[in-house]
Structure 1
Amino acid sequence: MADLNSLEELGEATGVETTTESSAPVHVQKLDAQGRAYATGKRKDAVARVWVKPGSGRISVNGKEFAEYFARPVLQMVLQQPIVAADRAGQYDVVATVAGGGLSGQAGAVRHGISKALTYYEPTLRGVLKKGGFLTRDSRVVERKKYGRAKARRSFQFSKR
């Protein structure tokens, strides 16, 4: 048995090539024929299809201005979070179509879609958006109703007599 002092010597002894470079995934820009980045965002039962392209900062959801579609200020803030975190306010136009779920789930779905589309357009933003938690799909969904129960966990009212 030979004495091995390093990984290179071990590789030579076993015939396996070892590299000292890190094999981190390289993210490349993904654009369609019109120069837009497309991504799908999901939250609860809502699914959003989002297109991002350079522009003046307009955000439209289902053909309406986002402030008109999402009337609550909290939902408008949720929608703009990834753009503000990436410091790209007023640089990209966003077109989104969203279906399913309620308004809160739809806002979360569009936020997730905007985040993914921004990373496809500008891969350097991935670190900032990932650190903010915008690229992670929120997997919380409504629990199903069980038989013998009033709701998912609530039992029927007990009657002694």
Structure 2
Amino acid sequence: MGRSYATGKRKDAVARVWIKPGSGKVMVNGKEQNTYFARPVLQMILAQPFGITNTEGQFDVYATVKGGGLSGQAGAVKHGISKALQLYDPSLRGALKAAGFLTRDSRVVERKKYGKAKARKSFQFSKR
């Protein structure tokens, strides 16, 4: 079988993810995983879908990711990997869904309202 593609999103980050059978190499924006996501926590996030489905080291991942910060990008790649895995092998859907990896985390920054300093913070009140 060939390769599988999916789009993952988190906060402002959008990741395009391709997976194909291989040795477990992860490339993000043309860099190695541990160069792009230097923090171990972020690398752990990327490994979660493979851990849940017992497919560690069986797929090569190529991802391009735009927007947001590093943790949002890591979440987007994780979402993309999960969706691509499910498309590649539909039998993995149950495990991924139970872990909540197929659901897009919809928490985004709240917009600023007029009459407020930030989204919810009011201007300083002066009695006199």
Higher strand share: 2
Q: Percent identity?
A: 76
**Alignment of 1:142 onto 2:109:** yes
Unaligned runs of 5+ in 1: 1-30
Shift of 1:151: 0.4
Q: Are 2:19 and 1:49 aligned?
A: no
CA distance in structure 1 between the aligned counterparts of 2:126 and 2:41, rounded to whole angstroms: 43
1:75 to 39, 42, 50: 42
Structure 2 gap segments, 5+ residues each: none
Q: Which runs of 4+ in 1 moved over 2 A?
A: none
Query: Are residue 36 (structure 1) and residue 3 (structure 2) matched?
Result: yes
Shift of 1:160: 2.3
- Equivalent residue, structure 1, for 2:67: 100
With a CA cutoff of 8 Å and minimum separation of 6, indicate the structure with the bigger relative contact order.
2
What's the TM-score, normalizing by structure 2?
0.97
Q: What is the match of residue 11 of structure 1?
A: none
> Hey, what does 2:121 align to over in structure 1?
154
- Supply the distance in 1 between the matched residues of 2:26 and 2:59 (Cα, whole angstroms): 9
- Distance, in Å, in 1 between the alignment partners of 2:113 and 2:39 is 33
In structure 2, distance between residues paired with 1:83 and 1:68: 20
For 1:109-160, what per-residue CA distance to the aligned partner results, in whole angstroms no more than 9, with x for missing partners?
A: 0000000000111111000100010000001110000011110000011122
Q: Which has the larger radius of gyration?
A: 1
